[in-house]
Each structure stands twice: as C-alpha cells, then as structure tokens.
Amino acid sequence: MFKTGILGYGGGPSVIPLIRHEAVARYRWMDDEEFGEILALANALPGPIATKMGAYLGYRLHRTPGAILAVAAHILPSTLGMIALMSAVQALSSSRVVQGMIAAVVPVIAVMLGVMACEFGERAVKGLGKPLGLCMFAVSFALLQTAQLHPALVIVIFLGYGAVHHRIVGWFKGRKRRTEHTGEEERSTWTG
C-alpha cells in the first residue's frame, strides 16, 4: 500500500489498477473475481475507494493491525508529499510545463481504467453468458446515463441480482428440464 500511495496519481480510481496488480498479479492475495467483488462493495460504501481497498487487504492478511497499517501506508506518502510540495505547486501552478504534465497524465489514467473495465466486462460475460452479460451492460448504462441513477445504487442493484443469479438460472434450467421431460412423456404416450 505504501507503493500505491507513492505511485498513485490522480485520485482513487487511478490507484485501483495498481492495487489490483499488487494484490492479484504480484502477491496473489486474491483472484480477479474476489477483487472485482471487493471493488464493487468499496464503490458502494462512502469514502475514498483506495483506502477502503487497502483496509480490506490489510484486514484480510493481518486483521485489525493490518488494516490500520495498510491505510496508514497508503495515506502517508501523499500526506507528506502535500505538506512538502504545497508551496511549490502554488508557485508553479501557472507554469505551462506543469499544466502540460497534468494534461498528459489524464489519458494514461483513462486507458488504465478502460483496460480494467474491459477485463471485468469479459469476466462478467464469461460468468453470465454473452446475451445476459450484454443485457446487463445495457441496463447499467441506461440506469447510469438515462435515468441518471447514482452509481452506488446501480452497484447495489447488481449486487442484489448477483446474490440471486444462480437461483434464477437454476429455476429456469429446472423448469426447462421439467418441460422437456413432460414433452417426452407426451410423445411416448402418443407413439406407444
């Protein structure tokens, strides 16, 4: 978390790919599916997302002391950096070089978030199937853009659906089997 606190530039969403790399790819503390679930939960809760993710990872590894240490390690670099560089930022804020640097970072963050979104989208389609995955994407897009529902509410709605997804799929499969079984019995009665 200290590394993500140092390298994370641009706020919480820009740090998530770094946290994912460390927790999933490098140290293998969890798989992508669990990371996605924790990310969705962290998005639904109030407060900075990166500190919530750090607190979860620290707690998962070393309970309460781990959570406290992870949050402190994530916050400490940016706190010290803000204190040390505040006067320099104020003096250089009108500099074209600084404005160019900030403008250059924005597309990088957008690409990092886009790549992560595509990877999670592929997992969603793999888990739900292509038709249902695309349907869920369309519903979430409509809720966010057309209905302008708060993202936390959309996340809660889809978490609720995810909790009953397997039951619904099982019910449909059971109903289909019963219908097929009944159809076979009727055919055998007619041919027998």
Reported confidence tier of residue 189, pLDDT bands at 50, 70, 90? low
Reported confidence tier of residue 24, pLDDT bands at 50, 70, 90? very high
The single-letter DSSP state of residue 76 is: H
Which residues are CB-neighbours of 38 under 8 A, at least 6 positions away? 30, 53, 56
**Measured distance CA(68)–CA(60) in Å, rounded:** 12
**Measured distance CA(125)–CA(116) in Å, rounded:** 14
CA 69 to chain centre: 23
Assess whether pLDDT exceeds 60 at residue 191. no
The DSSP annotation for 100-133 comes to: HHHHHHHHHHHHHHHHHHHHHHHHHHHHH-HHHH
Q: Which of 25-34, 85-94, 156-165, 179-188 has the lowest mean pLDDT?
A: 179-188
Mean pLDDT of the chain: 83
What pLDDT is attached to residue 124? 78
